[in-house]
Amino acid sequence: MPILRIKLSAHHTRPNRTKVTSPSAPTRSPIPHLRRCRIQSIIQQASAIFPRPTIFYTFHPDPSNPAFHTQRLLSALRQLLIVTALILTGFLFATALRAPAQQLLNPVGEAVPHHYLIAYRNGSIPTGFLARARVSGFHIVPGNAPFGISVLDTSSDANEAATLAALHADPAIDFVIHDRILSAHNLILRAILPATVGVTTGPPTSPPTTTAPYDTYYTSSLQQWAVLQSGGFGAGIPGGPAHGPWDTTMGTGVRIAILDSGVDQLHPDIAPHLAFNLSEVDQSSLTGMPSPCDDGSPQDQQGHATWVASLAAAAIGPGTGLLIGVAPAATLLNIKVLERLPDPSSTASDIATQCSTGQASGLLSWVIQGIQDAISQHADIINLSLGTLVDLGTGEGAGLKAIFDRVTYAANQAGAVLIASAGNDGVNLTSPRFIELPAQARAVLAVVASTNPACAENLTPTAACAPGPVTLPYYSNFGAPLNAIAAPGGSYPDGLAPDPDTAISGWIRGACSSGIANTADGPPSDAAHSFGCFNLGHVSYVQAMGTSAAAPLVAGAAALLRAANPTWSPDQIVAALRSTATPTSTLPAAPLLNTPAALH
């Protein structure tokens, strides 16, 4: 999603950043009118080049709808033009969008002007370099030093060509790139429907009493098929096979870091094992990126991270919520690196409407710092349901890949298993020119999506669930260079009948955010409002689909492996997941996660 950081003059001093580690929200910086206008102006310019979808798809991929065929024709023509242009320049780009509609025309993340990531040759920042940079007019953004990376700002009127030339000329510098926009992989959600149909309003934000219902989406319905398929069963827990991976472990002692939009810290499925809350979202008035949609605190004001975290490790037993995650005894680390931004495709004039369909995005520098935070907190698993497509044919593409490789390999060497979703753009990544990051960074396990065999993919509206083969859903990125495994991501149909809360479905049920406690839905311009679950208000559960689900389901499986084999290295855990994944003729894109086999 378009998200840009506004650069101020280099002589401004940046106040010390306070890392928020408690549920209370930090004091919000005022959002100057001119700053907001400039943010919107640049976002709109970027959107004109790279259109983005809204948070949920209003166009159903209906083969019987004439608009469907029009969309496919336009998509085919667009792809033909892209391929032709690349052939003329000596390149062949065969990305073949698989989804019939609502895909990104170009999911390549935007570069941020006048904001640079600098990697040094020896892996550490040279003595005196930052002092010299200040004298030369750069502003230093703290962080990332353990990776031998620094972040520098220049004023918005600085000559970028001259700046880059000066930096490239320094013998201590390995490479320089612009900071880059990363986004939570956009989910496909139900449109706004009554709570009994599309979204279930869960228990209140405070943990329920032991007499309240718990785990019922797992024990008394078919709504948690994705967790079951990912190895979340056994130990005699009703709702799945009596014996399975949980006979061995439920993930006790394993720490899963969720780098995303922040989790709902009071959600009853999340709170019992939530051990750490931190926001790396920089909303300072001088160098940050204030958003009228999000206060920047660790609390989830988007919904994405809460949904993701619940699939990996929703707690089990009395006093918890209605879900169970794959590793229900694992510890969760909440590291917020994305914030809700106004929807650049919105035609509304009011900020509340623009924010209501806004997506979660952040800067590469925030994500890098978040990975360092996860290492410092001794994370065993790092989940990254976010990313951007990178063109290695551009001047900065190789540098961006090298930055990610340096950071993810350092995390791997520190003992963390890194798992990333492959993206929801329907792109064939076979061409070596285009890659998805961080999914294709060094030491990262990429995950594509798969469908529910009890409700096989059917894009016809009103279709009923019927058994069928496990396949790659229409939206999932794919391609051999990903070296991915597959895990449930969901697809159509929704399977509402006979009861939308218990019926089998192609969608994936997960937790969602109720926003900041004791607030109503809306922009956080005062203490009485905050956004919560996407564009659905303050609700506790939602059904959605996307590779953002597939990654945390594998993260939960990795947590079970770590708990059962505490001496294994990250490479051994990943090797076990890959070697035991099941090849399927109907899903040639990647073998399917097989957690029981990995454990034994």
Question: What is the number of other CB atoms lying within 10 angstroms of the CB of residue 568?
Answer: 15
| pLDDT at residue 285, as a whole number | 62
Residue 286: per-residue pLDDT: 59
Mean pLDDT by 10 residues, the chain (600 residues): 25 33 34 26 31 32 44 43 39 33 51 88 83 78 81 86 89 90 78 30 40 89 95 98 98 98 97 98 75 96 97 97 98 97 92 94 93 98 95 88 95 98 94 94 98 96 93 96 97 83 91 94 95 94 95 98 98 98 95 97
pLDDT for position 506: 94
- HEC letters along 51-105: CCCCCCCCCCCCCCCHHHHHHHHHHHHHHHHHHHHHHHCCCCCCCCCCCCCCCCC
Distance CA 202, CA 221 (A): 15
The strands making up 188-189's β-sheet, listed across from edge to edge, are 188-189, 541-545, 508-511
- 483-517 pLDDT, tens per residue? 999 999 999 998 877 887 888 999 999 999 999 99
3-state secondary structure 326-361: CCCCCEEEEEECCEECCCCCCCCCCHHHHHHCCCEE
| Burial (CB count <10 Å: 0-12, 13-18, 19+), residue 84 | exposed
**HEC per residue, 167-210:** HHCCCCEEEEEEEEEEEECCCEECCCCCCCCCCCCCCCCCCCCC
CB-CB contact of 299 with 261 (8 Å): no
What pLDDT sits at residue 289? 75
Q: What is the pLDDT of residue 190?
A: 54
Sequence letter at residue 521: D
Residue 200's pLDDT is what? 31
Vertex 438: Cα angle to 432 and 442 (nearest 5): 75
For 60, counting Cβ atoms within 10 Å of its Cβ (0-12 exposed, 13-18 middle, 19+ buried), the class is middle
Contact 557, 195 (CB under 8 A): no
Q: Given the DSSP bridges, would you call strands 149-153 and 173-184 parallel, antiparallel or unpaired? A: unpaired
CA angle 151, 299, 570 (to 5 degrees): 65
Written in H, E and C, the secondary structure of 421-490 is: ECCCCCCECCCCCEEEECCCCCCEEEEEEECECCECCCCCCCCCCCCCCCCCCCCCCECHHHCCEEEECC
Rounded to an integer, what distance in angstroms lies between the CA atom of residue 472 and that of residue 458? 12
**Residues forming a β-bridge with 422:** none
CA 505 to chain centre: 23
SS3 161: helix
Tokens matching residue 376: 């410092």
Q: Are strands 541-545 and 508-511 parallel, antiparallel or unpaired?
A: antiparallel
What per-residue confidence (pLDDT) applies to 66?
43
Token digits of residue 156 = 């918005």
What's the pLDDT score for residue 22? 37
Cis peptide before 473 (omega within 30 of 0): no
pLDDT tens digits, 32-53: 222 222 223 223 333 332 222 2
> Which pLDDT score, from 0 to 100, does residue 145 have?
75
The CATH class that applies to domain 1-567 reads alpha beta
